[in-house]
Amino acid sequence: MEHDGGVSELWSESDTGVLRLPSGRLIRGRGLRHPLDPVAPLPSYGVYLLGRQPPGVPWESSWIRWPDFRLPADPTDARATLAGVWERAAGERVEIACGGGRGRTGTALACLAVLDGVPAEEAVGYVRRHYDRHAVETPWQRRYVRRFGEG
Tell me the CATH number at 77: 3.90.190.10
103 contacts 31 by C-beta, under 8 angstroms? no
What's the confidence (pLDDT) of residue 5? 41
**Averaged pLDDT for residues 32-52:** 93
Average pLDDT, the chain: 92
The residue-averaged pLDDT of 111-139 equals 97
Domain assignment present for 7: no
Residue 8 lies in a domain: no
Number of domains into which the chain is organized: 1
Asked whether residue 60 carries a pLDDT value surpassing 50, the answer given is: yes
Query: Is 89 a member of any domain?
Result: yes
Distance CA 53, CA 137 (A): 22
Whole-angstrom distance, CA of residue 71 vs CA of residue 90 = 26
Domain assignment of residue 5, yes or no: no
Residue range of the domain that includes 85:
18-148
Query: What value does the CA radius of gyration of the chain take, rounded to a whole number of Å?
Result: 14
115 falls within a domain: yes
Residue 1: inside a domain, yes or no? Answer: no
Over residues 7-21, the mean pLDDT reads 86
- Between 76 and 9, the more confident residue is 76
* Long-range CB contact pairs, 59-67, < 8 A, 24+: 59/5, 64/108, 66/98, 66/104
